[in-house]
Amino acid sequence: MPRPLGELENSVMTRVWKWNRPVTVREVLEDLQQERSIAYTTVMTVLDNLHQKGWVRREAEGRAYRYEAVSTRAAYAAALMNDAWSQSDNAAAALVAFFGMMSEEQRRALRDAVRIVEGTTEAVTRPAAEAAGEENAAGGLPDTAAAADVSETGGQNPGSAHGGAGR
């Protein structure tokens, strides 16, 4: 199971996920500087750490690197939920409590997701169907496939299924 991202790691990964393309340290830096004062070397260190942890892969471009997400935000969220659920000694009670915290819209999305996984998509709402077909940054797999990839690796870091460090 991946450890939850720290605040700065999450800020960086949010941009990498949102842009859904290889990014440079400079691009992330310039966007982050709209919210806070931050040094180039700090962003470079965070991206290097995310690479070492298996969250991003990088490719050399001249003297710099371009970084790309290994998995989607949806797969990351799924891995966190899976880990939290596995911590319970009563899975059914944990699910009931979790469902009780959900809004009606979230419960509808959950029902749609179950239909997608079970292969009965005829009653699925359009937003859920679109989310299931979303391409991830790692190579065009649907989010449901990326989430399954995470669960098949026992909740490991999404990068570990693709040769990442998984720390």
Residue 135 DSSP SS3 = strand
Identify the band that residue 160 occupies on the pLDDT scale cut at 50, 70 and 90.
Answer: very low
Whether the Cβ atoms of residue 85 and residue 113 lie closer than 8 Å to each other:
no
Taking only the tens place, the pLDDT of each residue in 24-78 is: 999 999 999 999 999 999 999 999 999 999 999 999 999 999 999 999 999 999 9
Q: Based on the number of CB atoms within 10 Å of its own CB, is 27 exposed (0-12), middle (13-18) or buried (19 or more)?
A: middle
User: pTM for the whole thing?
Assistant: 0.64
Q: Which two tokens stand for residue 38?
A: 């931050």
DSSP string, 49-112: HHHHTTSEEEEEETTEEEEEESS-HHHHHHHHHHHHHHT-S-HHHHHHHHHHHS-HHHHHHHHH
- Looking only at Cα atoms, what is the longest distance across the chain? 54
Taking alpha carbons only, the member of 80, 77, 58 closest to residue 69 is 58
Q: Would you give the DSSP letter of residue 4?
A: P
> Percentage helix, strand, coil, to 5, in the chain?
60, 10, 30
Query: What pLDDT, in 10s, does the model give residues 126-159?
Result: 555 555 554 433 333 334 333 333 333 333 344 4
Q: Is 23 helix (H, G, I), strand (E, B) or coil?
A: strand
